[in-house]
Structure 1
Amino acid sequence: MASSPTAPVVQGSGPYSNGRLTRDRVLACALEIIDRDGVDGLTMRRLARALERDPMSLYRHASNKAALLDGVAETVLAQLTVDPAATDWIAQLRTVARQYRRLALAHPHVVPLLVTRPMATPLALRPRGTLRPLEAVLALLTRAGFSGSDALHIYRALFGFLHGHVLNELQELVDNPEESDDLLRLGLHRLPIGEFPLLRGLASVLAAYDGAAELERGLDILLTGLQATLTPIP
């Protein structure tokens, strides 16, 4: 997920240059910069230029860059909807998983903020917006009859799988996209035959990677296993 070259911000040219400055506008503009140039491309000064404001005015909405990044993560996760009243918990978790993947693909530079950044912050100190999906999934599963501890276990298993899936899907798989031979296309010809015969033999499978299909297959395995090992209380 390499960042593209940082593009100059032309004052007065963006959609955020007019009107009252609000936290939502600040975060929306920050997300746009991250989507285009990556997390390293976002600075308070650059964001202020895009908003045509003095940099100091931003600190009323985000005390520092860390708080700004937390706000961006909240902005993206706010688009993840969970229906705690859904009667089919498995179908609802599938819907959540598909939504999460779509958000990750739409905002690939934000994925590290969603996956790795929370690990550096104790649960109770994380932005409340990042905790709402957890609370909603716990509500869904406890309504379905699972104990609180089992509901938490299901949540951890699901999002652990999702985090791994989106990181895997977003990584660069192709070494030479113009090459038609799968082994050469993926660069697997560089691996010693004697050490990696099975991996080299899977070149055609690796080249045919389908993120949506892999997600569904992984959910089949995960949710079927959870359903078989964890029984809701009648």
Structure 2
Amino acid sequence: MAARATRKLRDSAGPTREMMLSTALEIIDQDGVGGLTMRRLGDELGCDPMSLYRHAASKSVLLDYVAESVLLELTVDVTDPDWAGQLRGLARQFRGVALAHPKVVPLLVTRPLSVPMALWPLGALRPLEAVLELLVRAGFSEVDALRVYRLVYGSMQGHVLNELQVLVANHEETDPLLRLGLQGLSLRDFPRLRHLAPVLAAYDGAEELENRMDIMLTGLQIELHPTLGDRGENRT
């Protein structure tokens, strides 16, 4: 990675913002947020770390920019009348981003809590604005649209955290307990967990997300159109 970034830098006057963010993301993907320092980033780019501060005033700001760059992969078509389909698509996109960059998930889930919303990068606010516009156009009030956004985003975040926790200890094992590394658990102390080992080992994150969205979107459809009753909402 370092050689590739350095070659890019030598062909230019200095590291661009895009080069800085893509290299920072590579470092985080490899070693997590703790592995990223301005000095290491400078080494990877082949430049004086101090030159990076013209793009990001601090590491904290840099982390915000990395989160922003990842969130820019999320798209919402606010003109689509199928608002439920757009929310489902957004959830799928968020899961895709999380699985592609699992070590970036803490930036997406917990970092926004550390700074006031007014200090978020604009790119991090755009998904919120887009979802609000989508829902208001669909007939939700602004207040209800914000409530729905919080419900959907909270569910998406909770899902990816759950999915990333389902780590297989031994991929070659067929026995669920051995596959998950739970064989050391006492049957007396953890009977439920041991009995659920086959279910845990067979966890399907994509299907779990679809089921979660089915439940939420069906309820929201009925809230927006009470006459729908038990008709529900089909997956798109």
Pairing of 1:78-227 with structure 2 (within 5 A): 78-227=72-221
Aligned to 1:4: none
> Do 2:5 and 2:23's aligned partners in 1 also have CA atoms closer than 8 Å?
no
Q: Quick one: distance in 1 between partners of 2:168 and 2:8? A: 36
**1:15 Cα offset (Å):** 4.2
Q: 1:178 is paired with a residue of what secondary structure?
A: coil
Shift of 1:125: 1.8
CA contact (8 A) 1:44 1:65 kept: yes
Cα separation, 1, equivalents of 2:186 and 2:5: 56
Partner of 1:3: none
Q: Which of 49, 55, 59 does residue 65 from structure 1 map onto?
A: 59
CA contact (8 A) 1:11 1:49 kept: no
Q: What percentage of residue pairs aligned between the two structures are identical? A: 61
- CA contact under 8 A between 2:6 and 2:46: conserved in structure 1? no
Distance (whole Å) between structure 1 residues aligned to residue 35 and residue 10 of structure 2: 19
Letter in 1 for 2:11: N
The letter for the 2-side match of 1:111 is: V
**2:230 corresponding residue in structure 1:** none
State the 1:17 CA deviation.
4.6
Shift of 1:104: 0.8
> What residue number does 2:20 align with?
26
- Give the count of matched residue pairs: 225
Cα distance, 1:193 vs structure 2: 2.8
CA distance in 2, matches of 1:190, 1:81: 44
The offset of 1:160, in angstroms, is 0.5
164-173 or 216-225: which moved more?
164-173
Q: Deviations over 1:40-71 (max 9, x none)?
A: 22111111122222111110000110011000
- Segments of structure 2 that go 5 or more residues without pairing to the other structure are 227-236
Q: Please state how far the C-alpha of 1:12 moved relative to its aligned partner.
A: 6.7
Contact 1:138 1:152 in 2 (8 A): yes
Give 3-state SS (helix, strand or coil) of 1:124's partner: helix
- Between Structure 1 and Structure 2, the one with more helix by share is 2
Q: Per-residue deviation at 1:205? A: 1.2
Could you list the runs of 5+ residues in structure 1 that have no partner in the other structure? Answer: 1-6
The DSSP-based 3-state class of the residue aligned with 1:227 is helix
Residues 179-188 or 103-112, more deviating: 179-188
C-alpha root-mean-square deviation of aligned residues, in Å?
Answer: 2.0
Deviates more, 1:154-163 or 1:188-197: 188-197
C-alpha distance in 2 between matches for 1:12 and 1:230: 51
What TM-score, normalized to structure 1? 0.88
2-structure distance, mates of 1:120, 1:147: 28
C-alpha contact 2:74 2:90 (8 A) present in aligned 1: yes
Q: 1:73 to 1:14 in 2, by over 3 A?
A: farther
